[in-house]
Amino acid sequence: GDITADAAYQNRWYRHSFELSEKVVSASLQATADDVRFPYLNGHSFGRGGVWSSPNIVDVTDYLVVGKNVFACRVYNGTYYSGLLFEITIITESGKVLSIFSSNSTLTAKDIDSNSQYITNEDLSWTEIDYDDSSWRQCYVVGPVGSMPWGSIPFVSLASTVPEFEVLSASFPKEVKLGDTMSLSITWKIKEKIEKPFSMTVSFWGKYSSDNDETSPIKSTLRQVSGEEMNNWEVNTPISIDYELDIPDYMDEGSYMLQFDEDQMKLINNVDFTNNKLRGYYTKFAPTEIKLEKSEIIREKDITKLKIGEEEYAPYLFMQSDGLKYFKPSYATKMYESGVKLLSVGNNKVVDTITGESTWTNDDEYNFEPFDNTIYTTLSGAPKAKILVMISCDPPSWWLNKYPEERALSQNGGTDSISYASKRWVKDVCKYIRAVLEHMKSMPYAAHIFAVKFAQGATYEWQEYGMEIGNCSDFSTVAQNGFREFLKEKYKTNDALQTAWGNGLVTFDNATIPAFGEREPLTYGSLLDGVKQRSVLDYQDFKAKNVTESILAFSNVVKEVSNEMWLAGTYQGYITNALTYEGSGIGNNQFARLLEKDSNCDFFCGPISYMTRLSGYSNSYMQAVTSIVNAGKLCLTEFDERTVAVDMPDQSPATMDEWGKTYCLEDTLNLMIRDAANVLITGAGCWIYDMTGGWYNDDEIYNCLSLIMKEYEYALKYQDNTNNHEVAFIIEDKMPSDYAYSFGGSYSALEVNLSRQKEDLAHIGAGYDTYLASDLKKGLPIKYKVFLIVGNRFDKETIDGINSICKRDGTAIIWCGTPGIYGQDGSMSAENVSSLIDMDVDFASGSVYTAVSIDSNSIDPLVDGVKGYTYGKPEIKEVNPVAYVKDSNAVSLGTIRDTSYTGLAYKEVETKDGGTYLSIFSSIGHVPPQLIRNIMKRQGCHIFDSSFSDVVFSSNGYLCIDSPYGGERTISLPQAYDVYDPINNVLIGQNITSFTTNFGAKKTYLYRLMPSFSYGNEPVNPIDPTPTPDSKPEETSNLSFGKIFSIAGIGVASIELVSMVVIIFAALKIKKAK
């Protein structure tokens, strides 16, 4: 186990041995530890250091010897985490610079002596060179300097030299086509051992270019295909290595030589190779045809893939930081090498917040250079990658000043930005997008573009600018006029408008946008009155219509310019995380319109839900993911969890937890596996978001990504991922729009019915699907056994769908809240609810708790395991109305807390097909997973995992289980499978219907479910590229994810140079657009 466990007020001991082959000229030790450190070098003490955030640097020249040396340190930990960080920088007689640093070569132990901070008569033999440390353990490496939980520490490596290489010979082809891969070989000789291999970055220089040329050359990266790894090369011994090099297709044709990156290495012993240029070795780059490739979203056997041209890609992207301030091309290189071949440029504004450079400078005047720089810089790290570009739809300040009447106007007089009702804005943004895309289409990099994301609003997600808790609306003249046009289109006559609004004086000429006071609770504490406050409901629909029509207009431009070649998309559809009336602005109650076949919007982005990202939480979507996938669109999920490398000292721990912060590398890797498995199984896509740079720049992370992408590659070709879910969560499309502008009552009602209910569904022991209720108008592709339905305002067509699809013989429907409270005319009544759920209900009088207490004396099997349990939000009484069951034919299972009102009941109801369905009503959402699972068992649903703490994602082809607490599990399968763990390369069993395993705490497990006796017969195995039919994986392997963490030890941060580099762009040496 981890020796850091329960390390409070205890000591841990460390030793790091190393050899020196020559005399030392100078040496320095830089060290810190959490909490108190006592460092030694070859037995010499350097006293006590007590502040982990302040490393010490001392001269240690006189204490090093030729031969074996040992750095030793005792670390006393007060509370919280413990760890050690050190580097010894050495300059030898020959001028060689060495760096000895904390790593997994450092050994650690406990119980060597007393656990007191100050040890009397301490035995210091453990600090001596010849001490026997054979029983000590290797340390666990937390990550590079800056890793959490310590964050930024003023610790910078003092070793600044680069390794020296001698080129003995090289073999280059005479000619290669632009865009192809070039094979070459180089024979090297090194002067000193290379401790850590690296990917060699090269630049392309014209044969006759000048060394004084100020242009910035195009770059690529050598990919080793044969020969020993760099850290295994013998000193002063020739070694020949074969490489591949991707030649960018966007360069000028001509003869080129390579230049190696001077920040990585130095070429010596040949004057022709000054400045690291391989003069004398030239290759002619022949022209190639550049043409756009058609991008499509393909779904086969419920595996979602992106087809670009003739090649298929996993919909798994790397999204770089916003702007180029924190992006390094090496990140793209590593991602591409790991199998992530789709890259997304970061979010950006029309006016770059870092450089101040504008891309939209005046009417019909644009500056395309920032787009070109971003794309070329991205491709310099991965020349064959495909790119998703991003265009901001925010108008620049000059436009807002020129057209002030197009600004949004808050109730408080604020005019921050654009009114979404502005037709001029839509028209001018369409022109802007068209101009940008026409330019991109003419550029040599055009063939790399496969998708265009456009975004709008404060965080690119279509929030209204100036939206405040006391405002949430636009009172500008353009919005007011647009609202009246909307009403005229909807109601046709003033009489119809007056009837709907219950106001005989309102007309299309005097109708106004409802003020905040008109949106506050009136008849009920939570819900808007469907008649008296119909103006508010109409305004919500008007706002959604503006956003929807803008998205459709922008999508149409993408399709027109690219001739249907590029995909179009945006952030949109955040219905499951709409927790207050603010959600009506970003949730879009007309999102279903964007899913229709004639919609040119292909993909919808959205972060994975906040507060659900840590182990044991649901890892759920903000969108109705199943509706998106079944519509043939792509749900492109944003994974912006803060990895172990992220340090945000200005953010509170609670906020970091909400964002999914992980504090050790193992947790980061487990989270990445869970994320990838979630989207693979669900049929969604994703990007991992490197928001401030370097979040994923770790060898273990790249190794993990390689395993993930190999499994994706296998799935795209061979796996049957058919959806086998039996539970559907159905959300009425306009639900967030129904709530009055009262934070407490709205928040609590939406929270228990949406976000908390998702958490419960995640723990039912099987996967489930999430739909918008409007999908019921078209029919569902699966005959589900259990439905959980939430919403207030179902139109007639949707109700017809519920009656024909959900109310079938043998189904069960769980209703929560006030389903169907609104009639078709907007009137609200308990009778409307009763009619929908087939059970008589009424509304509780006065204020009641937002909670249901399950009967502790019930003998009904539906409440096994939850008798006496109270669910909902038992501490508040803010939600109103609250319905209760008064049906004498219903079976009561529980009451609204501290009342006699029946808050949980069920009833057998006859169906039109001659059978019965089970109607279960809960006054409050947040129905516990135990209760849902009991209903599932009654309906004959399959349950994979009986633990209520584990989170399960499942399909016919995959099973993923996240276990926050671990322990022994027996996993049940719905049929016989061959079960294989692709991350750890372990065959669990063949032709099995269950298996027993022991989960680790906070671990994620991914299992591939294959037809019985098919393992080993696949054409390609992603782990072993050349299997035989009888071959089986070992218990553990070199690629084993589990093996990475098999070594216990205290957290020791390895040294890595960490710096933020501002990239300065010179003129790129690229082909000119024709």
Query: What pLDDT, in 10s, does the model give residues 235-251?
Result: 999 999 999 999 999 99
pLDDT tier at 468, thresholds 50, 70, 90: low
Q: Do residues 225 and 244 touch, judged by C-beta distance below 8 A?
A: yes
Whether residue 316 sits in one domain with residue 269: no
Domain contains 835: no
Q: For residue 1034, is pLDDT > 70?
A: no
For the cut 80, the answer to whether the pLDDT of residue 1032 exceeds it is no
Is there a contact between 638 and 689 (Cβ–Cβ < 8 Å)? Answer: yes
Residue 754 forms part of a structural domain = no
What is the average per-residue pLDDT within 996-1014? 97
In a domain, 394, yes or no: yes
Nearest alpha-carbon partner for 344 in 327, 359, 362: 327
Residues 326 and 219 in one domain: no
Q: How far is CA 165 from the centre of its chain?
A: 40
What is the phi/psi pair of residue 932, to 5°?
-60, -40
Q: Is the pLDDT of residue 171 over 90?
A: yes
162 falls within a domain: no
* pLDDT value of residue 580: 62
Residue 831 domain flag = no
Same structural domain, 299 and 364 = yes
Read off the pLDDT of each residue in 410-423 and give the average, rounded to a whole number. 84
- 480 burial class (0-12, 13-18, 19+ CB within 10 angstroms)? middle
| 303 and 447 fall within a common domain | yes
- 294 CB-contact burial (10 Å; exposed 0-12 / middle 13-18 / buried 19+): middle
Q: Residue 723's pLDDT is what?
A: 96
| Averaged pLDDT score across all residues of the chain | 89
Question: Domain check: are 212 and 101 in the same one?
Answer: no
Answer yes or no: do 267 and 378 share one domain: no
* Phi, psi (degrees; rounded to nearest 5) at 380: -60, -25
Q: Is 153 helix (H, G, I), strand (E, B) or coil?
A: coil
Whether residue 352 is predicted with pLDDT greater than 80 in this model: the reply is: no
* Residue that wins the pLDDT comparison between 369 and 325: 369
Instruction: Give residue 215's pLDDT.
Output: 64
Domain stop point among 718, 739, 767: 718
Domain extent for 468: 295-482+570-585+597-718
- Total domains present in the chain: 4
At which of 718, 737, 753 does a domain end?
718
In a shared domain, residues 469 and 618:
yes
User: Between 1022 and 883, whose confidence is greater?
Assistant: 883
Residue 410 pLDDT level (bands cut at 50, 70, 90) = confident
Which residue type, as a one-letter code, is found at position 404?
A: P
pLDDT at 581: 56
Q: Is residue 337 located within the same domain as residue 276?
A: no
pLDDT digits (tens, 9 = 90+) for 77-122: 887 778 899 999 998 988 788 889 998 899 999 888 888 888 888 8
pLDDT value of position 1068:
33
Q: Are 280 and 301 found together in one domain?
A: no
The CATH number of the domain where 428 resides is what? 3.20.20
Domain contains 620: yes
For 617-670, write each residue's pLDDT tens digit: 999 999 999 999 999 999 999 999 999 988 787 788 888 888 889 988 999 999
Higher pLDDT, 570 or 584: 570
pLDDT (tens digit, 9 = 90+) per residue, 362-390? 999 999 999 999 999 999 899 999 999 99
What one-letter code names the amino acid at 611? M
CB contact set of 853 (below 8 Å; sequence gap of 6+): 868, 869, 870, 894, 895, 896, 897, 898, 903
CATH number, domain with residue 42: 2.60.120.260
Tokens of 794: 């179902």
Q: Are residues 304 and 232 in the same domain?
A: no
User: Does residue 262 fall inside a structural domain?
Assistant: yes
Residue 636: predicted pLDDT: 97
Same domain, 261 and 347: no
Q: Is residue 1072 part of a domain?
A: no
> What pTM, to 2 d.p., does this model score?
0.84
The predicted structure's pLDDT at residue 838? 98
Q: Note the pLDDT of residue 184.
A: 97
Q: Which of 688, 718, 748 is the last residue of a domain?
A: 718
- Average pLDDT rounded to a whole number, residues 252-272: 92
Of the two residues 989 and 194, the one the predictor is more confident about is 989
Mean local confidence (pLDDT), 926-939: 98
pLDDT above 90 (res 209): no
Alpha helices in 29-148 (DSSP H): none
CATH code assigned at 224:
2.60.40
Query: Percentage of the chain surpassing pLDDT 70?
Result: 91
Same domain, 701 and 608: yes
